[in-house]
Structure 1
Amino acid sequence: MAWMDRHNHTVLKEFILLGLTDRPELQAPLFGLFLVIYVISVVGNLGMVILTKVDSRLQTPMYFFLRHLAFIDFGYSTTVGPKMLVNFISDQNTIPYNRCATQLAFFILFIISELFVLLAMAYDRSVAICNPLLYSAVMSQSVCWVLVGVPYLYSAFVSLITTIKIFTSSFCGYNVVSHFYCDSLPLLSLLCSSTREIELFILICSVFNLVSSLLIVLVSYILIFKAILRMNSAEGRLKAFSTCGSHLTVVVVLYATLSFMYMQPKSSHSFNSDKIASVFFTLVIPMLNPMIYSLRNREVKGALHRMWKNLCKFPI
């Protein structure tokens, strides 16, 4: 009993991340693949942040939200990506205790913020399409800041509470995390103390975040589709569908993967399937978002062209 008591209160200094695969022949190809994905994600999202900040023609609510979406995508892909890449080429896939807690905190902060920024974008599009004459008055600068500021504060609160609850609990001494980053569910399986309170908190927050944000997105799109169907111009309908289709694609992929991970019963939970789902929303979606929202957008292409012309004016 004394040995068990000492074992149950082992002070961990680091965790071992199992990564995506334990097959050595796949490590190099996966490193190359995800390095390309991460570089494209960083360049695309930072480029979107800079472009929407410096170009005077992109100073609208739509691009304000796109800038924050790009910042968030850069944030959580960088929270996970570099460490994942290092683990592909490292013999010791370890992460220090404090860095694991930091990674978890930032990941939760960014992923919840993404849900509510997507909500704000859906609301912005519904106002633009359903009430174009009132758009400037409704989507004022102060309203836009509230729509992103409140989610940031709420996400920080949930992130801190979850991280503190997990890392102030007792670990059993077994430090192998069945994931390629420090996520809440794999860490909970390493705790000796009761996890019922933490699991309930995570479940309630996950359900609230997903259901409330998705409900508002769905209501916004119902209103959008009604407004589109009332349009007389076929060109106007096509343009509205094209704009909303990009946003809707991102929403469906993100919400489906998050629901699959955090809202399924514990008895049917599989960390291996979680890894596959996590790859999509931590690396693939942040890479695709700049392409979906930017490269197919004439205004963004025009801004890129103007920036390139301005850069070419400076002598090397």
Structure 2
Amino acid sequence: MGDVLVSGPAVRAVAASVEVVVLAGPQGSPAARLLPGVASVEVVDAPWITGSAAPVDAALVERFAEIVAAHGIDEAVLLTSFHQSPLPTALLLRLAGVTRIHGASVDAAGGLLDTRLIPGETLPEELPEPVRALRIAEAAGFALPAGDDGRLAVELPGDAAPAEAGPYVVVHPGAAVPARAYPAAGHARVVERLAAAGHRVLVTGAPAEAALTAEVAGTAGIDLGGRLDLTALAATLRGAGVVVSGNTGPAHLAAAVGTPVVSLFAPVVPAARWAPYGVPVALLGDQAAPCAGSRARVCPVPGHPCLADVDPAVVVAAAERLLAGGAG
């Protein structure tokens, strides 16, 4: 979800002059359908991106050919993150007949990319991911239209409503990557303290996180675990005064609906690239911890100190500052 949402400004830049078909993975495609400027979405489980067991075979080559033919695609802008290669996708698109392809690649691309930005040379390394994607689109000749501020954005149906009436704050304790998760006990104390301060606290999570959200909500919060689809989650985050979340998709979704975020951010990936973008953010967590930049999925440091050592009182104080309109 997060990878797709941070690509939103670049997608809008392309959509300002041509029809956009977004090619996304199974996890990101629901978010792609909420992006402004998207005409249609095609889903491919690309194993060089997702790490899935999907085979790279003739059927996958044919799938790319079918997508290109169905939409008459003649140009592609590949919005890979800093640690991903665009070249496998570029090869399959080239085989499918796409005539112009643009992307950022550390490796020499030969004839696979018509426009190649080189990370660390023609593309700075420490750009926020939305800016990085926008730079790729700009190099391909696509710019944001006048009046577009370049922030993240989603389009919700007119009847999209929050799960609960406001005012409230949202705590989202889950994370797809364990190394990026604040301990459940810490989240539960945050909920208790926020409730004691007079706030209604909604706890959100996916169906698979029902046990986690129940533990975190306890008796002080309102457990919404497994109850919200992506549109309902977006509407609920939009109605919140502040969102408390780790580095996970809903943090970027909160940014896309304009809600301030208390970001419990493990430094396994750089906050300069991946912190919520374009909204007030309170960044918590030891960004100089030994795990910094490791891209670890499971914390390599006993005790997970980069996040476990963050006092719940500090989290609540950060939330209160953002609720009052102050800086993080």
TM superposition score category, shorter chain reference? under 0.3
Q: TM-score, normalised by structure 2?
A: 0.19
**Higher RCO, 1 vs 2 (CA within 8 Å, ≥6 residues apart):** 1
Larger radius of gyration: 1
- More strand by percentage: 2
